Structure 1
Amino acid sequence: MDLTTLTSFFMWCSIFNGGLLILWTLCFLLMPDLVYRTQKRWFPLPRETFDVVMYVFVGAFKLLFLVFNLVPYLALLMIE
């Protein structure tokens, strides 16, 4: 696999995962009651616990996105 293919791979991974992170964050910020009611059907949690869990998941996803998608992409751009 050459550097151009690898750079393109990480670019598309960053675009898709960044879009997913933005969509997830917007849903959680703009429609928190709808998200809570939808998830409450499968996981009966109190609202406060649900908010903490969602905040932790968004934060963990953001860290994983930065470490495993964006940083390798930027490093490949620098050496290319």
Structure 2
Amino acid sequence: MIINEVLREFLGWSLLLNIALMILSVIVILPFKRAFAKLHAKMFGISEKQVLRGYYQFMTYYKIAIIVLNLVPYIALVIMSKGPMF
């Protein structure tokens, strides 16, 4: 089906872009986490420890969202496009 092919291609590109964005976020946040934590702690009136926890929560939730919303549907469409398994 053409719809499955288009959707599979869309999810593939979405998966690739989301993984690239996550890697970029890690590359930017990890080396400068103390400086960012100080800045965000002052901006939002919370402790640096809470800000650092928020960074790691963001990374975790983003990774879960990528898996659930991009990777699993992509794999399902790839399996579906192979034809009947039984």
TM-score (normalised: structure 2): 0.79
> Match for residue 45 of structure 2?
44
Going from structure 1 to structure 2, the CA distance change for 1:48 and 1:37 (only over 3 Å counts) comes to closer
Q: What amino acid is aligned across from residue 40 of structure 1 in structure 2?
A: A
Aligned-residue sequence identity (percent) comes to 25
Q: What amino acid is aligned across from residue 12 of structure 1 in structure 2?
A: W
Q: RMSD in angstroms over aligned alpha carbons? A: 1.7
Matched positions, count? 80
Question: Gaps spanning 5+ residues in structure 2: where?
Answer: 82-86
- 5 Å-filtered alignment, 1:1-80, equals 2-80=3-81
Range with greater deviation from structure 2 (6-15 or 37-46)? 37-46
Question: Gaps spanning 5+ residues in structure 1: where?
Answer: none
**Contact 2:38 / 2:48 at 8 angstroms: preserved in 1?**
no
Q: What amino acid is aligned across from residue 15 of structure 2 in structure 1?
A: S
